Amino acid sequence: MGTETQAAAENRDCTIMHVDMDAFYVAVELLRRPELVGRPVIVGGLGGRSVVLSASYEARRFGVRSAMPMANARRLCPQAEVLEPHQGVYRQVSARLMAIFESITPLVEPLSVDEAFLDIAGSMRRLGPPRQIGELVRSRVSRELAITASVGIASTKFVAKIASARCKPNGLLLVPKEETIGFLHTLDVSALWGVGAKTREALARVGINTVFDVAHTPPTVLQRLLGATGRHVYDLAWGRDPRAVTPVRVEKSLGAEETFARDVDEDEVLETELLRLAHRTAARLRAAGLQSRSVSLKLRYADFSTLTRSRTLTEPVDSAQLLYEAVRGLLAGLGRRPMSVRLIGLRAEKLETADGAAQQLTLDGRDDNWRSAEDALDRINRRFGEAGIMPARLLGRERNKPPGGQG
* Residue pLDDT, tens place only, 201-248: 989 999 999 999 999 999 999 999 888 788 989 999 999 999 999 886
Measured between alpha carbons, how far is 156 from 18 in angstroms, rounded to an integer?
10
**Threshold 0.85, pTM exceeds:** no
Measured between alpha carbons, how far is 192 from 214 in angstroms, rounded to an integer?
10
177 pLDDT more than 80: yes
Measured between alpha carbons, how far is 109 from 341 in angstroms, rounded to an integer?
37
Q: What is the rounded average pLDDT of the residues 39-62? A: 90
- Judging by beta carbons within 10 Å of its beta carbon (0-12, 13-18, 19+), is residue 294 exposed, middle or buried? middle
Maximum mean pLDDT: which of 52-61, 254-263, 369-378:
52-61
Q: How does strand 253-264 pair with strand 172-174?
A: unpaired
DSSP three-state, residue 329: helix
Nearest CA to 304 out of 259, 256, 253, 257 is that of 259
* Residue-level pLDDT at 360: 42
Q: Which pLDDT band holds residue 385 (cuts at 50, 70, 90)? A: low
Mean pLDDT of the chain: 85
**Where is average pLDDT lowest: 20-34, 43-57, 293-307, 324-338?**
43-57
* DSSP 8-state assignment for residue 307: E
Nearest CA to 191 out of 210, 177, 173 is that of 210
State which H helix or E strand residue 237 sits in: helix 229-237
Q: What is the rounded average pLDDT of the residues 154-160? A: 96
* Residue-level pLDDT at 6: 52
Q: Residue ranges for the binding site for Mg(2+)?
A: 20, 114
Q: How far is CA 368 from the centre of its chain?
A: 32
* Diameter of the chain measured on Cα atoms: 79
Measured between alpha carbons, how far is 118 from 252 in angstroms, rounded to an integer?
22
Q: What are phi and psi of 172, to 5 degrees?
A: -140, 130
* Residue-level pLDDT at 194: 77
Q: Which pLDDT band holds residue 403 (cuts at 50, 70, 90)? A: very low
Greater confidence (195 vs 130) lies with: 130
State which H helix or E strand residue 367 sits in: helix 366-384
DSSP three-state, residue 63: coil
Q: Return the amino acid letter for 374.
A: E
Measured between alpha carbons, how far is 189 from 199 in angstroms, rounded to an integer?
10
* Residue-level pLDDT at 374: 59
Q: Residue ranges for the binding site?
A: 20, 114
Q: Which pLDDT band holds residue 362 (cuts at 50, 70, 90)? A: very low
Measured between alpha carbons, how far is 305 from 102 in angstroms, rounded to an integer?
42
* Residue-level pLDDT at 148: 97
The domains of the chain, with CATH numbers, are 1-177 (3.30.70.270), 185-237 (1.10.150.20), 253-399 (3.30.1490.100)
* Residue-level pLDDT at 58: 97
Q: Tell me: the pLDDT tens digits for 265-285?
A: 999 999 999 999 999 999 888
Q: What is the rounded average pLDDT of the residues 34-49? A: 89
191 pLDDT more than 70: yes
- The catalytically annotated residue of 29, 58, 109, 115 is 115
To 10 degrees, the CA torsion angle through 174, 178, 180, 181?
-160
Measured between alpha carbons, how far is 236 from 53 in angstroms, rounded to an integer?
30
251 given a catalytic annotation: no
* Residue-level pLDDT at 37: 96
* Residue-level pLDDT at 75: 94
Q: Which pLDDT band holds residue 315 (cuts at 50, 70, 90)? A: confident
**Where is average pLDDT lowest: 14-18, 165-169, 365-369?**
365-369
